[in-house]
Amino acid sequence: MPQILTFLGKGGSGRTTVAIAAAKQQANLGRRVLFVSQDPTPATGILLGVPLTDKPQSIGANLEVVLISATVAIERGWEEVKQIESRYLRSPLLRNVYGQELAILPGMDSAIALNALRQYDASGKYDTIVYDGTGDLTTLRMAGMADSLSWYLRRFVAVVEESDLWRTVAPIMQPAMAAMLTIAWTGETAVSAPMQEANNFLSKSQDAIGNPQRVAGYIVVTDEPAAIATGKYLWGSAQQSGLTIGGAIVNRGTLTDILAAEFDPLGVSAIPNRIGDDWQPLTDALPDFSQAVTAPKPITIDVPKREVRLYLPGFDKTQVKLTQSGPEVTIEAGDQRRNILLPPPLKGSSVTGAKFQNGFLIISF
Nearest partner of 219 among 38, 60, 13, judged by Cα: 13
- What pLDDT is recorded for position 173? 62
Q: Detail the DSSP E strand segments found in the chain.
A: 3-8, 33-37, 57-60, 63-67, 128-132, 215-221, 245-251, 267-271, 299-302, 307-311, 321-323, 329-333, 336-340, 353-357, 360-364
Task: Let me know if the fold of 3-74+101-146+206-294 is the same as that of 299-364.
Answer: no
Whole-number CA gyration radius for the chain = 23
| CA–CA dist 52, 47 (Å, integer) | 11
Domain 299-364 bears CATH identifier 1.10.3720.10: no
CA distances from 240 to 43, 191, 233 (A): 31, 31, 11
The pLDDT of residue 224: 94
Output b/e per residue, 208-233; b: 16+ Cβ within 10 A: bbbbbebbbbbbbbbbeeebbebbbb
For the chain, the structural domain boundaries read: 3-74+101-146+206-294, 149-200, 299-364
Q: What is the pTM of this model?
A: 0.86
d(CA 348, CA 171): 30
Q: For position 174, what pLDDT does the model report?
A: 63
**Cβ contacts of residue 191 below 8 Å, gap of 6+?**
88, 181, 183, 185
**pLDDT given at position 2:** 93
Q: Tens-digit pLDDT profile for the chain (365 aa)? A: 899 999 999 999 999 999 999 999 999 999 999 999 999 999 999 999 999 999 999 999 999 999 998 888 888 878 877 887 777 677 777 878 888 888 888 888 888 898 899 999 999 999 999 999 999 999 999 999 888 888 888 788 777 777 777 677 666 666 655 655 555 555 555 456 566 667 677 778 888 888 889 999 999 999 999 999 999 999 999 999 999 999 999 998 888 898 999 999 999 999 999 998 899 999 999 999 998 888 888 999 999 999 999 999 989 889 999 999 877 899 999 888 999 988 999 988 899 999 998 889 999 99
pLDDT reported for residue 104: 82
CATH number of 3-74+101-146+206-294: 3.40.50.300
CA angle 221, 278, 22 (to 5 degrees): 45
pLDDT value at position 187? Answer: 53
pLDDT the model gives residue 73: 81
Cα–Cα distance between 296 and 77 in angstroms, integer? 35
pLDDT of res. 90 = 72
